[in-house]
Amino acid sequence: MVAKKKSASFEQSLEALEELVERLEAGDLPLEEALADFEQGVKLTRECQKKLASAEQKVKMLMEENGSIRELPFEADNSSGDS
């Protein structure tokens, strides 16, 4: 019997994506490695997007009241100093 590959958590995927970006930004990879890393980065990005969409759907379901969804605006914390 073939075991199903367990999907990485969102945090693990995001961390792997950050590492790939750092490697690519360094600019000292051979072209073939850079392309392979870029391809892996695209896969990780799609994986993260799917997980975020799923989480958003779960939040909407939890916020459902009397058969209608009440969406509240998300206000990001702007404490990073980008004013």
Taking residues 9-13, report their average pLDDT.
91
pTM: 0.63
Alpha-helical regions (H) of 3-74: 10-26, 31-62
- The residues, any chain, with a CB within 8 Å of residue 63's CB and separated by 6 or more, are 69, 70, 71, 72
Query: Is the separation of the CB atoms in 48 and 17 below 8 Å?
Result: yes
Q: What is the CATH number of domain 11-65?
A: 1.10.287.1040
Type of residue at 54: S
Query: What residue segments make up the domains of the chain, in order of their start?
Result: 11-65
Query: Is the separation of the CB atoms in 20 and 40 below 8 Å?
Result: yes
Q: What is the Cα–Cα distance from 75 to 18, expressed in whole angstroms?
A: 24
Residue 67, pLDDT score: 66
Q: What is the Cα–Cα distance from 8 to 10, expressed in whole angstroms?
A: 7
pLDDT tens digit string along 16-66? 999 999 999 998 999 999 999 999 999 999 999 999 998 888 887 777 666
